[in-house]
């Protein structure tokens, strides 16, 4: 013990005698654990580098691959530069020019990812029925395409071709999608005996103080999707289904909430349309089984205005091993958003709201756990807190400030209201409102938005995110946005 103390003292002395040598710290790109070469996508022509130079003399200049890189007063830098074309041996080569000479250098080699091979499909003739075996499964329009449908466990899919990782399935004749094989039970025992279109029978509409539930009989589990047309009308499409509906029964309580339920056969799909009397639903939930499909329209716990008595889920993004975005000075998104969550928690509590945090420390919480926490606590809405970064290849010079993301159209007005108040309160550039398919905002049973407060990668925005006063302003903006949102809901 004693020897170690002496040793560390002597190091301090040495450092304080000599002038500090300048050092270039590259924050991004960086190698992840287990990665030996950083690789960019094969088709990118430019990308960004960010980090900080410490200990440099005033008037020093930073060059990267011969391009001049602007530094903030404390040496933080971000630059968007052309990438080399070599598949294996490109370099980011940094040099710091102090006076006449280059005094400090840093070299970061990088390569390219291999070009994707064309997928080799093996057709299955006749097609084979497999069931969804994993929860949170999703299908895509095509390989690398958008997320499309979110089938429940047990939903049968008619697979027409298979590759090493993918299965192509028929949604209905003339309409196909793809799904990763990991979501399917593709062993032979899992083959299902499923034939013919789904027959959809009579409906019943019930209601209680929590929800209005529309139930239709079916003879196998359908693939479905929902279109929220407005706050008053929803359309549920059942694929590969045919109507045998004769009547839909409304119980007395349901008739007060639901104005009409109508259906239309569109080719091989059946559309069921729900029109409400008032825009008094916060979301919906769909559950399908072998015998019924249920469409539950969820009513708010309270229609009171303001924040008093409201229960808000506040979700600080990332945590544990997931740092999130890292700023040029090394600031981690997971730390900033946790601090922000605590400031926001105090602010919302002072306005009479209850707050449920999805994490209260630097811990790893999965995306689905975050939703479950909010759902189990019966929260009125969900706010996910983040600080932004761009993917490789996008030019950061064009993007600044606050963006708010929603998925379900019922959350759009919440996104717009929060965005407007945060931008005003924290004097931020408006980076836009985004309709985005992200796991934490995908739930449809309560309004959910994700707030990208500011860009961690920009040196000046990183400084703001480190500042407690800025977190205060952000929180005040969110609070005012929620107040206005709940006032609007109560007056619908
Ligand atoms: Zn994030």
Distance (angstroms) between ligand 1 centre and the Cα of 325 equals 6
Nearest to 225 by CA among 279, 175, 191, 184: 175
Task: Give every strand in the sheet of 139-140, ordered side by side.
Answer: 122-131, 156-162, 166-172, 175-180, 139-140
Q: Alpha-carbon distance 325 to 391, whole Å?
A: 10
Q: Quote the Cα angle for 454-455-456, to 5°.
A: 115
DSSP labels, 56-108: PPTT-EEEETTEEE-B-TTSEEEEEEEPP--SS-EEEEEEEEETTEEEEEEEE
Question: How close is the Cα of 451 to the center of ligand 1, in Å?
Answer: 9
CA of 299 from ligand 1 middle (Å) equals: 30
> pLDDT tens, 382-441?
999 999 999 999 999 989 999 999 999 899 999 999 999 999 999 999 999 999 999 999
Q: Domains of the chain by range and CATH? A: 2-112 (2.60.40.10), 122-190 (2.30.30.40), 198-298 (2.60.40.3500), 311-490 (3.40.630.40)
Identify whether the C-beta of residue 158 lies closer than 8 Å to the C-beta of residue 111: no
Q: How far is CA 112 from CA 44, 84, 389, in A?
A: 9, 9, 21
| Distance separating the N- and C-terminal Cα atoms of the chain | 70
CA of 441 to the centre of ligand 1 (A): 13
Q: What is the pLDDT of residue 167?
A: 96
Ligand 1 mean position, distance from CA 462 (Å): 14
- Find the 387 Cα to ligand 1 centroid distance in Å: 6
- State yes or no: pLDDT of 162 exceeds 90: yes
φ, ψ at 458 (rounded to 5°): -80, 125
Consecutive H or E run containing 198: strand 198-207
- E-strand spans in 301-420? 311-316, 354-357, 381-388, 402-406
Could you tell me the distance, in angstroms and rounded to a whole number, from the CA of residue 440 to the centre of ligand 1?
11
pLDDT-based confidence at 21, cuts 50/70/90? confident
pLDDT given for residue 13 in this prediction: 37
CA dihedral 382, 388, 392, 394 (to 10 degrees): 110
Cis-peptide into 126, omega within 30 deg: yes
pLDDT surpassing 50 at residue 1: no
Rounded CA separation 41/202 (Å) = 52
Tokens at 317, concatenated: 């993004």
Taking alpha carbons only, the member of 130, 142, 58, 137 closest to residue 97 is 58
Total residue length of the chain: 492
> What's the pLDDT band for 11 if we cut at 50, 70, 90?
very low
Kindly state the helix (H) or strand (E) to which residue 16 belongs, with its residue range. Answer: helix 2-17
pTM: 0.90
What's the CA-to-centroid distance between 197 and ligand 1, angstroms? Answer: 43
Upper half-sphere CA count for residue 52 (Cβ side, 13 Å): 19
pLDDT tens across 189-207, in order?
Answer: 556 666 688 999 999 999 9
pLDDT reading at 17 higher than 60: no
The pLDDT value recorded for residue 9 is 37
pLDDT of 4 strictly over 50: no
For 207-230, the pLDDT digits (tens) are 998 999 999 999 999 999 999 888
Looking at residue 192, its pLDDT comes to: 67
């Amino acid at each position: 013990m004693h020897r170690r103390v002496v040793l560390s003292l002597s190091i301090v002395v040495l450092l304080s005698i000599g002038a500090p040598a300048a050092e270039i710290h590259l924050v991004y790109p960086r190698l992840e654990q287990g990665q030996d070469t950083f690789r960019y996508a094969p088709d990118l022509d430019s990308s960004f580098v960010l980090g900080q130079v410490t200990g440099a003399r005033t008037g020093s200049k930073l060059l990267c691959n011969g391009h001049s890189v602007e530094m903030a007063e404390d040496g933080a830098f971000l630059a968007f530069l052309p990438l080399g074309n070599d598949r294996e041996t490109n370099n980011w080569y940094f040099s710091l020019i102090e006076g006449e000479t280059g005094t400090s250098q840093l070299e970061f080699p990088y390569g390219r990812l291999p070009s994707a091979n064309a997928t080799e499909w093996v057709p299955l003739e006749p097609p084979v029925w497999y069931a969804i075996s994993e929860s949170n499964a999703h299908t895509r329009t095509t390989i690398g395409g958008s997320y499309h449908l979110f089938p429940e466990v047990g939903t049968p899919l008619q697979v027409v071709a298979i590759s090493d990782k993918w299965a192509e399935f028929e949604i209905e004749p003339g309409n196909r999608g793809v799904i990763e094989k990991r979501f399917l039970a593709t062993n032979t025992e899992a083959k299902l005996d499923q034939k013919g279109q789904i027959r959809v029978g009579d409906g019943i509409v019930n209601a209680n103080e929590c929800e209005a539930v529309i139930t239709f009989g079916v003879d196998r589990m359908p693939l479905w999707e929902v279109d929220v047309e407005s706050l008053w009308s929803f359309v549920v499409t059942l694929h590969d289904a045919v109507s045998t509906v004769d009547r839909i029964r409304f119980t007395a309580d349901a008739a007060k909430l639901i104005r009409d339920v109508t259906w239309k056969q569109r080719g091989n799909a059946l559309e069921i349309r729900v029109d409400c009397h008032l825009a008094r639903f916060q979301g919906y939930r769909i559950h399908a089984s072998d015998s019924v499909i249920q469409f539950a329209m969820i009513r708010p716990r309270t229609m009171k205005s303001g924040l008093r008595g409201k229960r808000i889920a506040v979700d600080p993004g990332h945590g544990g091993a997931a740092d999130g975005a890292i700023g040029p000075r090394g600031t981690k998104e997971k730390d900033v958003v946790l601090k922000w969550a605590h400031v926001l928690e105090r602010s919302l509590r002072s306005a009479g709201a209850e707050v449920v945090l999805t994490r209260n420390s630097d811990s790893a919480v999965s995306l689905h756990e975050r939703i479950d926490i909010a759902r189990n606590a019966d929260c009125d809405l969900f706010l996910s807190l983040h600080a932004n970064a761009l993917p490789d290849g996008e030019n950061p010079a064009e993007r600044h400030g606050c963006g708010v993301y929603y998925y379900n159209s019922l959350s759009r007005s919440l996104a717009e209201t929060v965005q407007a108040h945060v931008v005003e309160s924290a004097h931020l550039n408006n980076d836009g409102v985004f309709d985005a398919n992200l796991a934490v905002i995908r739930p449809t049973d309560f309004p959910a938005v994700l707030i990208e407060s500011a860009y961690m990668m920009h040196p000046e925005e990183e400084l703001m995110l480190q500042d407690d006063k800025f977190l205060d302003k952000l929180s005040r903006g969110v609070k005012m946005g929620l107040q206005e949102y709940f006032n609007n809901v109560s007056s619908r």
